[in-house]
Amino acid sequence: MDQAYEKIFSRLYSSPFKSAIALSTGRLGLLPSPNFRKRVRDITSSIEEAANELEKTEKKKLRSDAKYFLFINMAHMLEIPLEMHGETNEYTAQKMKDDIKTVVKAAAALQNADEPKQVSGHRIIEALSQKWSMLHLSSLRIWGKS
């Protein structure tokens, strides 16, 4: 793992519940870019779009735990470290949106026919693992090669 990202994750982990608020107010020693709050809202919008598409096309609901898991991981493991490292832009925002859709679709496909028509956080974890090498943002190598 890149040492710059190692330090960023260390700082974020020391206060995981406050990191988004701390970054947005500059408490981690950096002031966020003007578009930071918009990009965090865009994560929620992307999750909702994927959830709506899932309901429309597959008649399945993305559970709130799945939505929250996606949000926490996209915001805390991608957006905030990228922001702190100065690497966020519209390209990464679009790729994050694409990756959210990929993961949600894959999670829905993992469900057995006898399961309720609700996609859980557990299925999101499985889908992330299954689709990892195909996700656009994994190519940024924030966490190293694997």
Contact between 63 and 118 under an 8 Å Cβ cutoff? The reply is yes
Which pLDDT band holds residue 57 (cuts at 50, 70, 90)? Answer: very high
Least confident of 17-21, 50-54, 86-90, 130-134: 17-21
Task: Give 36 or 51, the one with higher predicted confidence.
Answer: 51
Is 19 a domain residue?
A: yes
Is 101 a domain residue?
A: yes
What is the Cα–Cα distance from 26 to 8, expressed in whole angstroms?
A: 14
Mean of pLDDT values over 38-60: 91
Mean of pLDDT values over 67-76: 86
Helix (H/G/I), strand (E/B), else coil: 43: helix
Of residues 16, 116, 109, the one with CA closest to residue 63? 116
Mean of pLDDT values over 128-141: 83
Cα–Cα distance list, 99 to 2, 96, 103, 115 (Å): 22, 5, 6, 24
**Percentage of residues of the chain with pLDDT beyond 70:** 75
Q: Supply the mean pLDDT for the chain.
A: 80
Is 99 a domain residue?
A: yes
Is 16 a domain residue?
A: yes
Is 146 a domain residue?
A: no
Task: Give 132 or 91, the one with higher predicted confidence.
Answer: 132
Is 58 a domain residue?
A: yes
Instruction: Write down the pLDDT at residue 1.
Output: 55
Count of structural domains, the chain: 1
Instruction: Write down the pLDDT at residue 16.
Output: 46
Could you tell me the pTM of the whole model?
A: 0.78
Task: Provide the domain limits for residue 115.
Answer: 3-140
Q: Position 138: which residue type?
A: S
Is 56 a domain residue?
A: yes
Is 115 a domain residue?
A: yes
Residue 140 DSSP code: G
Instruction: Write down the pLDDT at residue 30.
Output: 62
